[in-house]
Structure formats: C-alpha cells, structure tokens
Amino acid sequence: MLTTQQRAQQQAVIQALGVQPQIDPQQECDRREQYLCDYLQKSGGRALVLGISGGVDSLVAGLMAQRAVARLRAAGGQAQFIALRLPYGRQHDEDDARQALAFIQPDRSLTVDIKPATDAVVTQLTQADWSFPASERDFIIGNIKARQRMLVQYACAASENGLVLGSDHAAEALMGYFTKYGDGAADIMPLSGLTKTQVRALAAAYGAPGNLINKVPTADLESGRPLLPDEQAFGVSYQDIDAFLTGHQVPAEVFAIIMRHYSASAHKRQLPAHP
C-alpha cells in the first residue's frame, strides 16, 4: 500500500504527463488525426515523416499521419505522409515492419540502412583513440543508431518542407525509455499522454492486425541483445506502468522502480539546462 505522500507523487506525475484514466479510442483517433491535420496546415508544411519500426506505437502514429494528410488533401491542401524504414543492416522483425506499412498504406515509403553511417561514427571515434566502456558499448552504440534514424527523418522532412513525428507515449515518457535527441526528438508526438494499453486500443479501433497490436514491445537497439523486451529493460511490466499512470494502487516496489526511472530521466523531458 502506498503512503499518502507517494499517492500525491503519483498524481503529480499523471498530471505532468497528461494521462486520462479512460478514453474513447475512436474519438481519440479522430481528435489526434485532426490535430495533426490542423498543425501541418498552420505550419505551412506539406508532409509528415515517421519511421516505421514494426511495433504498435509507430503503427498507430503512422495510421494517424496517413489519415491526417488525407483530410488535408480533401480540404484542398497539399500534403503527403512519408514512411521510413530505418534498419541497422538486417532487421530481425522486418516482416512486422513490412506488414505495418502494408496496413498503413503511406503515400511514400523509403528504406534507408543506417548501419554504414552508424559504423562509420564508431570507426572514426575508435581511430581518434576513443574507447567505449565495455559494459556500456552496446548501449551507447544503440543510442547512436537512434540518433542516426532521426537524422535521416529530418533530412527527408527538410527536403519536402515537412514535419517529423515521434511515436513516444506516456508509458515511455514516464520511464525515460527513449533516446535524447534520437526518437525523443520530433516536431510532434501524436501519442503523447497515452498509456501502452490505450495505444493498443487505438490500434484495435483502426482495425490493425492482432499480431502487431499484441507484439512484445522492443526498442531493438542493442546488437548484443536483439529484440530485448522493453519490460525486461524496465524491471516492471507495462501492466504495472499503465496501472500507475491511470491512478491505481501499485506495489511499493513497483512504485520505487518507476519513480527511480522517472527521476533519473527528468533531463530528457526538459529543454536544455541553462544558467
């Protein structure tokens, strides 16, 4: 049982992340699609760009984006959705990414292998006599991969006067489970404020394939631990995280793990520090 002070901390986090305990999935899809449509129109942009990984998060964000640009075109505007596949060499769950793209049916789709660029950075650092701590090497290179992916997305967006979308949601924001200036860098986060359960509910409302909706979530950034489940990295389950975010009681040990991640990753959710 959490103390009164812990419950107050929990409520403060929920409010900060903008989580609603209950949503209507269909209404939420419609509201967020319209937001993307209006934001793109007001910005003067002509494209939305998003990397599609094969997970449910980018699937839902991609579906929103494709429908948003369709709305804008129906109103007489010019807009397109550009979906990018950004594997590091061979993607272990490539079939899922291809299935997601087939379901989204983006206006344009492009595959860019980030392995040569990522490996070049590592090689240049090594040649400059920089050494990675052995225990952190795979993790650090994983972050380089995430930043390379965002670099490609912004390059494509710039060439089409577009905006980059991210697929982070409240559960990932809570745990700090994103790379600073990598997948955490985007112009719009259309899934902001949603729990993982709610993201899956939106995917179901879109009629997405069940295997993609219920796929085990993974960032798949570490070559030494391919397809490492998010929950294994967290030390708690998405069920626990979503219970916390929707105001339910959680075991004290779960609360402690979540708050430790939340506190340690505070810098990721803020603008750069300054004096």
Query: Per-residue pLDDT tens for 260-271?
Result: 999 999 999 998
Does residue 201 belong to any structural domain of this protein?
Answer: yes
Does residue 63 belong to any structural domain of this protein?
Answer: yes
Please give the Cα distance from 139 to 16 (Å, whole number): 28
Task: Give the pLDDT of residue 163.
Answer: 98
Please give the Cα distance from 101 to 107 (Å, whole number): 10
Task: Give the pLDDT of residue 1.
Answer: 84
Q: Is residue 176 over pLDDT 80?
A: yes
**What count of other Cβ atoms lies within 10 Å of the Cβ of residue 235?**
14
Percentage with pLDDT > 70 across the chain:
100
Q: What value does the mean pLDDT take over residues 188-212?
A: 98
Q: Is residue 273 over pLDDT 90?
A: no
Does residue 126 belong to any structural domain of this protein?
Answer: yes
pTM: 0.95
Does residue 236 belong to any structural domain of this protein?
Answer: no
Distances (CA, A) of 240 to 41, 53, 262: 38, 24, 14
Q: What is the pLDDT of residues 58-85, one digit of tens each?
A: 999 999 999 999 999 999 999 999 999 9
Considering the candidates 28, 33, 57, 242, report the single residue annotated as catalytic.
Answer: 57
Q: Is 172 an active-site residue?
A: yes
Please give the Cα distance from 186 to 168 (Å, whole number): 10
Query: Do residues 71 and 34 make contact, with C-beta atoms less than 8 angstroms apart?
Result: yes
Query: Do residues 228 and 220 make contact, with C-beta atoms less than 8 angstroms apart?
Result: yes
Q: Is residue 102 over pLDDT 90?
A: yes
Task: Give the pLDDT of residue 92.
Answer: 83
Q: Is residue 169 over pLDDT 90?
A: yes
Does residue 249 belong to any structural domain of this protein?
Answer: no
Task: Give the pLDDT of residue 46.
Answer: 97
| Bridge pairing between strands 108-111 and 80-85 | parallel
- Any idea how long the chain is? 275
Does residue 143 belong to any structural domain of this protein?
Answer: yes
Task: Give the pLDDT of residue 218.
Answer: 84
Q: Is residue 224 over pLDDT 90?
A: no
Domain extent for 64: 22-230
Q: Is residue 226 over pLDDT 90?
A: no
Please give the Cα distance from 236 to 124 (Å, whole number): 37
Please give the Cα distance from 116 to 184 (Å, whole number): 22
Considering the candidates 172, 183, 220, 242, report the single residue annotated as catalytic.
Answer: 172
Does residue 176 belong to any structural domain of this protein?
Answer: yes
Does residue 251 belong to any structural domain of this protein?
Answer: no
Query: Do residues 54 and 99 make contact, with C-beta atoms less than 8 angstroms apart?
Result: yes
Question: How many domains does the chain divide into?
Answer: 1
SS3 153: helix
> 75: which 2 tokens?
């109103």
Helix, strand, coil percentages for the chain (3-state, nearest 5): 55, 10, 40
Distances (CA, A) of 206 to 51, 133, 191: 19, 44, 14
Q: Which residue has the higher pLDDT, 92 or 52?
A: 52
SS3 165: strand
**What count of other Cβ atoms lies within 10 Å of the Cβ of residue 121?**
14
Please give the Cα distance from 141 to 162 (Å, whole number): 28
Q: What value does the mean pLDDT take over residues 213-239?
A: 86
Residue 223 pLDDT class (50, 70, 90 cuts): confident
CATH of the domain at 66: 3.40.50.620
